[in-house]
Structure 1
């Protein structure tokens, strides 16, 4: 299998493998998709329990996927909404791009996050929940306002770094990324709507 670093984009790291593709859809398709997702999806703002208190998340989101793609993070279980046709088409496009580069992947779910402006954010985390498997491949499509995704090494062996994510770019987080790195979308004084879609494969739980 060809590693994710062989994708036709900028290889940011080889070990772990982190690659940025500058354009997935092209225009006007990318902007039309952004507008459609913003208008047609039933965006949610769930609350998460931190230090014994409930807090609304600082963005809107939607968990979508196959019926058995249940996901748990920050102490809460999420049941998937059915695939929206536009999101299913994006999933298939991402799978095709990866396959053409020799990196076959299967995705049965996606976490969509809607950031209305630069003050909305996502805290430090790794996508390393057990239901994602031992070493997940995650593909993150960014639509709308460009913002940097901040990375830091878990062992603090290297300096943190930013990956700027332009409109219509695809960030492929391959082998080792979730084990060795954390990432966050930190608040910035940058205006504009941004929607991110992080496609992933959830391994359904086996009932005992």
Structure 2
């Protein structure tokens, strides 16, 4: 299930949040292991959340930094917006923030299906800054369905609900789009 709320944040609120995050988050670009080789990720990130919300992907163990007050408030607003729209939600205990300096920084094909996220995770993504498409494709590409884009405007909220991670992979591919972009992907790490 995919659902997008285009007007989750007003343009002014989204711009203020983007400015705060660009200035106040401790961004880093760690190396991850892909096909047995270490690569510095082509973006900056910050793993944030409750102290017990450690997360492992691509050979890296992410230990959360404490919640930034503005991000903690946003997590609550995301849960409320999803519930108000009648969409699946969960009590998010963590968020992965990704900062893309421009359209050339990217994220490769993947599903958010690590064991720590449980059997059918709910992931909610808030997009700030430059509008870019999140590309989706079937995990089992023998279905004949073509890949498709979901454009993520400034201030929008995308829900990847039950079944999304088991059915699709997603990627943020390079585009000739100027300007920074920040995405916040809220999730629940299970103990």
> What interval of TM-score do these two structures reach, taking the shorter chain for normalisation?
over 0.9
Contact 1:125 1:182 survives alignment (8 Å): yes
1:104: Cα distance to partner?
Answer: 4.0
Q: Can you list the C-alpha shifts for 1:44-89, whole angstroms capped at 9, x where unaligned?
A: 1101133444321000000000000000000111100000011111
1-side partners of 2:89 and 2:149: how far apart?
27
CA RMSD of aligned residues (A): 1.0
The runs of 4+ residues in structure 1 deviating greater than 3 Å are 50-53
Q: Does 1:69 align with 2:50?
A: no
Residue 18 of structure 1 corresponds to 2
Q: Does 1:140 align with 2:146?
A: no
Higher-Rg member (1/2) = 1
Q: Does 1:91 align with 2:75?
A: yes
- Picking from 3, 6, 14, the partner of 1:30 is 14
Structure 1 residues 50 and 68, CA gap change in structure 2 (3 angstroms): same
Residue 66 of structure 2 corresponds to 82
Q: Does 1:164 align with 2:148?
A: no
- Picking from 15, 20, 31, the partner of 1:47 is 31
Residue 10 of structure 1 corresponds to none
Q: Does 1:177 align with 2:164?
A: yes
Q: Can you list the C-alpha shifts for 1:169-189, whole angstroms capped at 9, x where unaligned?
A: 100001111001000000111
Give the gaps of 5 or more residues in structure 2. Answer: none
2-side partners of 1:75 and 1:26: how far apart?
38
- Picking from 126, 140, 145, the partner of 1:155 is 140
1-side partners of 2:108 and 2:51: how far apart?
27
Q: How many residues align structurally?
A: 188
- Picking from 103, 107, 113, the partner of 1:128 is 113
SS of the residue 2:11 aligns to: coil
SS of the residue 1:28 aligns to: helix
| TM-score relative to the length of structure 1 | 0.88
| TM-score relative to the length of structure 2 | 0.95
